[in-house]
């Protein structure tokens, strides 16, 4: 793939919000992966900072559309959204037309409103499992939020409060089973620090597999 420049210039303050303008420019320089669209996935454990990072990256891209997989998942099928994504989002974007997908209401437990997703130069796909096997052939790039499951869950539980503790317990089991069967991290082009939102200068690896160098200037 083509080069994606650093997300932050050397010498930037460690506490400063990440400057994603260079990364955005690099993503725009990639060849389209889905019709005229560069589909970019932001994956990671629940609570790892995917939504926040995707929002910042969208802003750096001039308001790139973001598809949230929470809008396609359901209580009964937390990872059973592949067909909905394909039919309602991927196929229209591949034809270069605006996609329209139903949004799941987690309180009413049913699909309600419809959200439009224009066939923009970059469309972000954000959520747990965004880099799954069935989606990867359509991606221009896969970004992984680097925060382990325990830390991500603790952050999510703190955010959502004790009334959702039972939901988090069930979700964590489903998430663990999903990534055990269909891991995204080994296929990531870039890793993002789940705390700071900065692109990591390090390597990608899985146990018992060779290290794959992931220089910050490459994707």
Domain ranges in the chain are 21-203
Give the pLDDT confidence of 5-18 residue by residue, as tens digits.
444 443 444 455 67
SS3 state at 44: coil
Against a cut of 0.85, is the pTM above it? no
User: Is the pLDDT assigned to residue 122 strictly greater than 70?
Assistant: yes
109 — pLDDT class (breaks 50, 70, 90):
very high
Residue-wise DSSP of 69-87: GGGT--SS-TT--HHHHII
Q: What is the CATH number of domain 21-203?
A: 3.40.50.300
Which pLDDT score, from 0 to 100, does residue 194 have?
A: 87
Give the pLDDT confidence of 126-170 residue by residue, as tens digits.
999 999 999 999 999 999 998 877 777 666 666 766 666 566 666
CA pair distance 17, 198, nearest whole angstrom: 8
User: Is the pLDDT assigned to residue 104 strictly greater than 70?
Assistant: yes
206 — pLDDT class (breaks 50, 70, 90):
very low
């Amino acid at each position: 793939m083509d080069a994606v420049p650093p997300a932050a210039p050397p010498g930037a303050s460690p506490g400063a919000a990440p400057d994603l303008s260079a990364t955005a420019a690099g993503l725009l320089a990639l060849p389209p992966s889905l019709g005229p669209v560069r589909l970019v996935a932001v994956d990671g454990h629940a609570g790892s900072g995917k939504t926040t990072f995707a929002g910042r990256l969208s802003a750096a891209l001039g308001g790139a559309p973001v598809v949230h997989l929470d809008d396609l998942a359901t209580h009964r099928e937390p990872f059973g959204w592949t067909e909905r994504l394909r039919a309602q989002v991927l196929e229209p974007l591949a034809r270069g037309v605006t996609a329209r997908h139903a949004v799941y209401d987690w309180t009413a437990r049913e699909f309600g409103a419809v959200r439009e997703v224009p066939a923009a130069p970059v469309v972000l796909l954000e959520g747990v499992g965004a880099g799954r096997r069935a989606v990867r052939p359509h991606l221009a790039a896969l970004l992984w939020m680097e925060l382990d499951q325990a830390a991500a869950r603790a952050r999510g539980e703190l955010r959502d409060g004790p009334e959702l503790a039972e939901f988090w317990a069930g979700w964590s089991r489903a998430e663990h089973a999903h990534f055990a069967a269909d891991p995204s991290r080994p296929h990531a082009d870039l890793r993002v620090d789940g705390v700071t939102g900065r692109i990591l200068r390090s390597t990608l690896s899985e146990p018992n597999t060779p290290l794959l160098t992931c220089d910050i200037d490459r994707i």
